[in-house]
């Protein structure tokens, strides 16, 4: 006589032996079954697509308030978990695509930093933004204004190097090709000292 544990062990061993002996046959049967089921589902959806769509729209219309309420309650109850998962997913994606992100960022900066400087220049000139009263008498030349102003500016100044910004010589005068350059903070400080010392 076998004990209950021994009978259970022998049964599991027999089942494992049967599976090993018929592994390929079982796998083929499962694959065939999955294929038949997916084909049946696809045919059913094709035959009843309009009906299903209409039924779904009707259900949503009748239960819209409850659905929105349940969504809001779910989000509120799981807000921290959802935010954590979103941050984790974003961090994982950034870690996976770090090189690609850096490459795209460098390309974007090279193309658009100079354009940003052009916009800022026009905002400062004549104190148009109201935040630069010392620029009230500073104007932008005709070449860098108007319809072709941005294109001319990019052509004259070239790409903006990293760590620099648009600067005027001796930090004075108007914005024009002969009076502007890309300067670092240190270089801008030198130009300001020249202005203060009347060099």
Beta strands in the chain (DSSP E): 165-168, 180-183
d(CA 101, CA 114): 20
Residue 9 has what pLDDT? 62
d(CA 180, CA 186): 16
Residues 175 and 139: beta-carbon distance below 8 Å: yes
Side-chain-side CA neighbours of 116 within 13 Å: the count stands at: 10
Residue 19 has what pLDDT? 62
Residue 185 has what pLDDT? 92
Residue 153 has what pLDDT? 94
Q: Give the pLDDT of the chain (199 residues) as one tens digit per residue.
A: 556 666 666 666 666 666 677 778 777 888 888 888 888 888 888 888 888 888 888 888 888 888 888 888 888 888 888 788 888 887 887 777 788 877 777 666 666 888 899 999 998 888 887 888 888 889 999 999 989 999 999 999 988 888 899 999 988 899 999 999 999 999 999 988 887 777 5
Residue 12 has what pLDDT? 67
Residues 149 and 118: beta-carbon distance below 8 Å: yes
Residue 96 has what pLDDT? 79
């Amino acid at each position: 006589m076998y004990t209950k544990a021994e009978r259970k062990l022998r049964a599991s061993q027999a089942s494992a032996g049967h599976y090993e002996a018929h592994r390929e046959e079982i796998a083929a049967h499962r694959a065939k079954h999955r294929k038949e089921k997916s084909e049946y589902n696809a045919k059913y959806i094709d035959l009843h697509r309009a009906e299903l769509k209409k039924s779904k729209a009707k259900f949503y219309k009748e239960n819209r308030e409850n659905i929105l309420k349940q969504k809001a309650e779910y989000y509120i109850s799981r807000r921290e978990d959802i935010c954590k998962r979103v941050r984790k997913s974003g961090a994982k994606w950034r870690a996976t695509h770090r090189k690609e992100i850096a490459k795209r960022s460098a390309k974007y900066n090279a193309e658009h930093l100079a354009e940003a400087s052009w916009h800022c220049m026009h905002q400062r000139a004549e104190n148009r933004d109201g935040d630069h009263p010392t620029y009230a008498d500073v104007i932008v030349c005709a070449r860098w204004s108007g319809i072709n102003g941005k294109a001319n500016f990019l052509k004259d100044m070239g790409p903006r190097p990293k760590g620099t910004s648009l600067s005027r010589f001796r930090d004075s005068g108007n914005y024009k090709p002969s009076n502007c350059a890309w300067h670092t903070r240190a270089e801008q400080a030198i130009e300001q000292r020249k202005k203060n010392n009347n060099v």
